[in-house]
Amino acid sequence: MDTIFIKDLAICAKHGLYSEEREEKQKFLISLELYLRLINAGETGDLKKSIDYVELCKKVEEKFTTNFYNLLEEAGEDLAEFILSEYDILNKVRVSIKKLHTLRPKNFKYAEVSVVRQWHRAYIALGSNVGNKEENLEKAIEFINSKYHTKIKKKSNFIITEAIIDRKTEEFLNGACEIKTLLSPRELINHLRDCEAKIKENKSDSKTIIDLDVLLYDDIVTNDEDIIIPHPRLEERDFVLTPLSEIAPYYVHPLSKKRIVDLRNELKKKNKQLF
């Protein structure tokens, strides 16, 4: 991965927990490390294929002086997420902030916080079997995409499938989507639970209004009991593999080392679903 460095952008602003820090402007030095592919810009000389760092510095200064932060950690988090959301070409960013004038002991030169954030690729399964199912799935996608930290990149067509546990219940509508997210696996799962809760508000039906599951997250394999990635039943469910193979046919399962399309074809040949 290529990198653009911006060192010690000097900005005067009022940030801090103490009243003294809010009365007069203090000097901060902000450094950025921007991770992206620069081969196209290097071969063509086209600034649009890179980052206009003069423009970026102006945006960072405006953001940093417009908002108020109690902590450097808060400022670093906000700036990192802001920069990634502003520049889709970026994969990762490191924001380092030095506060030169602090309430500090005499041997304390400065305080500095460094925050690293990057986009992660994940795949989500969607399902609904009550009410307007297509509307439920579209609302879920809208909610997932509504936050700056998570964006929909691809979505599959929806397919009608039979219920697994009780085949007498109403049919399901299923789909899958690819997202990019700044969230950790746990944070992403919590975000999906929030999306489910919004759609289920004022609903008392016990059927599945909406169900959202993390199928894959980068190439990681977790061992937490409450966060199992890849999804443990991914390879057994045609209603998951069919839409997933539409948007990510050649994605390699990190455990089986098989492509999604191959997993789907193998399951089809068995002519049954495993539970």
Mean pLDDT rounded to a whole number for the chain: 91
The CATH-assigned architecture of domain 2-118 is 2-Layer Sandwich (3.30)
Is the pLDDT confidence value at 275 over 50?
Answer: no
Which H or E run contains 61?
A: helix 53-66
Q: What pLDDT sits at residue 166?
A: 60
Instruction: Report the candidate in 53, 77, 47 with the shortest Cα–Cα distance to residue 64.
Output: 77
**Distance (Å, rounded) from C-alpha 145 to C-alpha 138?**
11
The rounded distance, in Å, linking the Cα atoms of 3 and 197 is: 40
The position carrying tokens 């700056």 is: 148
Where do the CATH 3.30.1130.10 domains begin and end in the chain?
2-118
User: 83: how many CB neighbours lie within 10 A of its CB?
Assistant: 20
CB burial of 112-144 (b: ≥16 within 10 Å; e: otherwise) equals ebebebbbbebbbbbbbbbeebeebbbbbbebb
Question: By mean pLDDT, which of 42-51, 56-65, 156-165 is the weakest?
Answer: 156-165
* Lowest pLDDT segment from 98-107, 116-125, 126-135, 262-271: 98-107
Residue 225: how many CB atoms within 10 A of its CB? 6
The pLDDT assigned to 5 comes to 98
β pairing state of 111-118 and 26-36: unpaired
State the fold for domain 120-270. Alpha-Beta Plaits (3.30.70)
* H or E, element range at 66: helix 53-66
Residues of the chain with CATH 3.30.70.560: 120-270
pLDDT higher than threshold 90 for residue 24: no
DSSP 235: G
The tokens for 146 are: 């509504």
List b or e across 157-171, with b for residues whose CB sees 16 or more CB atoms inside 10 angstroms: ebeebebeeeeeeee
Of 91-95, 123-127, 131-135, give the lowest mean pLDDT range: 131-135
Per the DSSP assignment, residues forming a β-bridge with 112 are 98
Whether residue 139 is predicted with pLDDT greater than 80 in this model: the reply is yes
Average pLDDT value for residue range 124-134: 93
Residues 89-109 have a mean pLDDT of 84
Q: Which residue has the higher pLDDT, 101 or 218?
A: 218
| Single pTM value for the model | 0.86
- Predicted pLDDT at 163: 75
Residue closest to 239 by CA, chosen among 97, 127, 117: 127
What percent of the chain has pLDDT above 70?
A: 92
